[in-house]
C-alpha cells in the first residue's frame, strides 16, 4: 500500500490550481491535507484582526470542499519546524509537498526541506501563488528591478504556467488528530466588531470564483473608472489573492479568455494591477524587512513627529474633519476594505499632513484590512511615503480636498460613509492642509541632505 503524502497548505486555500495538492494526489496514496497556524516561527508576522476573521471562514469553506471530495482538512497550531515533522511521523507520510513562500518564512521551508530529505522523505515545492518567481525577473545587470514599468515589461516576457486541474476526489486518513477551528479564537467576540465584514464578504474558493466571473462579465468593462470610489469598477479580488482562494494564474487565464469588446479594452489595465502585486512580492523577496525598514535608507533621516494620541485616534476613527479621509477610514473599519484611490489619500494624510511615521499607519492597515499581506501592505505604504521602490516623490502630497473634487465630485462616496457631512455635527479639520504640506516639505530637506552626503 502506498504511504500517505502530506500537502501542507499556507496562503493557498484552494483545491483548483493547487500544484502541491495535485502532487500529493498524484503520489498515489492517501493525502493528508494540513493547515498549520504558525505565529511562533521566526519570520512569521502574526495576523491582524481582519485577516484572522477571513482565515477562519476560508478554512471552514475549504474543509467543506475537501469533505465533499472525500478528503479532510487537518488543523494544527505551532511552529512549523516542530509540527510538520511530527505530522509526518504520526501519519507515516513518505512525501511532503507545498507551494513556495517568498518572504522571510522561506528560510523555514529551506530548513524543513533539508531536514525531511535527511530522513528520506520526498519533498517538493512548487510555483503557485505568483505569475513569475521573483528571481526570474531581473535587470540586464542581474539585479532586481526597482521600478515597476520595466519590471512588468520583463515579467510579461515570461511564460505563464498552465492551470493545474482540481482533483475530483481524494482519500484522507481519518485517524489523524486535528484541532477544532473554533478553539483557535480567530473570530472577535468581546466586542464582536465583524458585523460589517460578514455583510460585505463571503470567504472561500467558490465565492472567489463567483466574484471573478461577476467582475469579468459585469465590471471589467467599466474598469477605466476604477479611481472613482462611488463606482463599482474594481475587482474586489485582493482578499481572494491574499489567502490564495484564487491564484493569479487563474485570473490571468480568465482575463485572456472570453470577454466582451469593452471588457477586453480594460484587461491590460487590470492585469497591470496584478502586476503591481508581483512587483511588491519581488521587492519583499529581496528586502524581507520591508514592514519595518525604509527601502530607501536616506529616509532614516526623516524627522517624524511624535504622534499626538488625539490626532492618531481621529485618523483611525474617521473624524479628522477631512471628508474623504474620514470616509475611507470608516469604510475600512466597517468592511475591512478601502478603495485603492482612497487608501493613497488616507495614507498621505497621515504621513505628510500629520507627519506620523508610515510604519504606524502600516500597522493599523495590517490589523484592519482583510487583504493585508506582507508584501503589498508595507510596499504600498512606502510608495506613498516616498521611501519605497518606484515611490511617489515625497513632494507629491495628495490633497484630499482636490482628490474628492476629482474622484468623488458628487460626494456619493463621502455621503455614504460620512452622512453628517452636510450638518452641524461634522468636526473642523484637525490640521491645516496647506500649512502641514509646507511643514512636510521642510522636513523632507533632511532626507535630501542625507542623500547628498552618501
The yes-or-no answer on residue 331 being catalytic is no
Catalytic residue of the set 358, 366, 383, 417:
358
- Kindly write down the DSSP assignment for every residue of 378-392, as one continuous string: HHHHHHHHT-STTPP
- Buried-exposed string 287-305: b where 16+ CB fall within 10 A, e elsewhere: bbebbeebbbebbebbeee
Any residues with CB less than 8 A from the CB of 416 and at least 6 apart, and which?
Answer: 230, 327
How many whole angstroms separate alpha carbon 8 and alpha carbon 115? 16
Catalytic residue among 276, 366, 383, 417: 276
Identified catalytic residue from 98, 381, 383, 417: 381
54 in active site: no
Q: Can you tell me the distance from the alpha carbon of 139 to that of 281, in angstroms, rounded to the nearest whole number?
A: 16
358 belongs to the catalytic site: yes
Active-site annotation holder among 184, 193, 252, 304: 304
Q: Among the options 107, 122, 340, 439, which is catalytic?
A: 340
CA angle 282, 387, 336 (to 5 degrees): 70
Pinpoint the alpha helices (H) of 164-216: 195-200, 205-214
**Among 296, 26, 289, CA closest to 147:** 296
State the Cα–Cα distance between residues 128 and 227, nearest whole angstrom.
30
Is 276 known to be catalytic?
A: yes
Q: Which of 111, 106, 52 is nearest to 77 (CA)?
A: 52
Please tell me the distance from the alpha carbon of residue 206 to that of residue 282, in angstroms, as a whole number. 29
Length of the chain: 454
**Cell, residue 138:** 531581473
Q: Which three cell numbers stand for residue 369?
A: 484590512
Helix (H) or strand (E) run with residue 277 in it:
helix 261-286
Gap between the Cα atoms of 134 and 155, Å rounded: 9
What residues are annotated to the active site?
A: 273, 276, 304, 340, 358, 381
Amino acid at each position: 500500500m502506498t504511504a500517505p503524502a502530506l500537502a501542507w497548505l499556507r496562503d493557498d486555500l484552494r483545491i483548483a490550481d493547487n500544484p502541491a495538492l495535485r502532487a500529493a494526489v498524484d503520489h498515489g496514496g492517501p493525502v493528508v491535507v494540513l493547515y498549520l497556524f504558525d505565529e511562533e516561527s521566526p519570520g512569521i508576522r502574526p495576523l491582524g484582526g481582519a485577516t484572522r476573521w477571513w482565515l477562519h471562514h476560508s478554512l471552514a469553506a475549504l474543509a467543506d470542499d475537501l469533505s465533499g471530495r472525500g478528503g479532510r482538512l487537518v488543523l494544527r497550531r505551532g511552529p512549523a519546524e516542530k509540527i510538520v515533522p511530527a505530522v509526518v511521523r504520526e501519519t507515516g507520510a513518505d512525501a511532503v509537498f507545498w507551494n513556495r513562500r517568498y518572504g522571510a518564512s522561506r528560510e523555514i521551508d529551506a530548513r524543513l526541506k533539508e531536514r525531511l530529505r535527511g530522513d528520506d522523505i520526498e519533498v517538493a515545492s512548487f510555483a503557485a501563488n505568483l505569475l513569475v518567481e521573483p528571481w526570474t525577473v531581473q535587470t540586464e545587470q542581474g539585479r532586481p528591478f526597482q521600478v515597476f514599468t520595466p519590471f512588468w515589461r520583463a515579467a510579461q516576457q515570461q511564460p505563464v504556467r498552465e492551470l493545474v486541474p482540481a482533483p475530483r476526489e481524494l482519500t484522507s486518513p481519518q485517524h489523524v488528530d486535528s484541532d477544532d477551528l473554533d478553539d483557535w479564537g480567530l473570530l472577535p467576540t468581546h466586542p464582536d466588531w465583524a458585523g460589517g465584514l460578514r455583510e460585505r464578504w463571503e470567504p472561500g474558493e467558490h465565492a472567489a470564483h463567483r466574484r471573478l466571473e461577476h467582475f469579468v462579465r459585469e465590471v471589467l468593462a467599466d474598469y477605466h473608472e476604477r479611481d472613482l470610489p462611488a463606482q463599482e469598477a474594481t475587482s474586489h479580488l485582493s482578499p481572494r489573492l491574499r489567502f490564495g482562494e484564487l491564484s493569479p494564474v487563474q485570473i490571468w487565464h480568465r482575463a485572456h479568455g472570453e470577454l466582451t469588446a469593452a471588457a477586453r479594452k480594460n484587461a491590460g489595465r487590470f492585469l497591470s494591477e496584478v502586476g503591481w502585486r508581483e512587483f511588491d512580492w519581488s521587492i519583499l523577496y529581496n528586502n524581507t524587512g520591508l514592514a519595518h525598514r525604509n527601502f530607501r535608507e536616506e529616509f532614516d533621516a526623516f524627522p517624524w513627529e511624535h504622534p499626538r494620541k488625539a490626532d492618531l485616534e481621529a485618523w483611525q476613527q474617521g473624524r479628522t474633519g477631512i471628508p474623504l479621509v474620514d470616509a475611507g477610514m470608516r469604510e475600512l473599519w466597517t468592511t475591512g476594505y478601502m478603495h485603492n484611490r482612497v487608501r493613497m489619500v488616507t495614507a498621505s494624510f497621515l504621513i505628510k499632513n500629520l507627519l506620523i511615521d508610515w510604519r504606524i499607519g502600516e500597522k493599523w492597515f495590517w490589523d484592519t484590512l482583510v487583504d493585508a499581506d506582507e508584501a503589498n501592505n508595507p510596499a504600498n505604504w512606502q510608495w506613498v511615503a516616498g521611501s519605497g521602490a518606484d515611490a511617489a516623490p515625497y513632494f507629491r502630497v495628495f490633497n484630499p480636498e482636490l482628490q474628492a473634487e476629482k474622484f468623488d465630485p458628487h460626494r456619493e462616496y463621502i455621503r455614504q460613509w460620512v452622512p453628517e457631512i452636510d450638518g452641524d455635527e461634522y468636526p473642523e479639520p484637525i490640521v491645516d492642509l496647506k500649512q502641514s504640506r509646507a511643514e512636510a516639505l521642510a522636513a523632507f530637506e533632511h532626507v535630501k541632505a542625507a542623500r547628498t552626503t552618501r
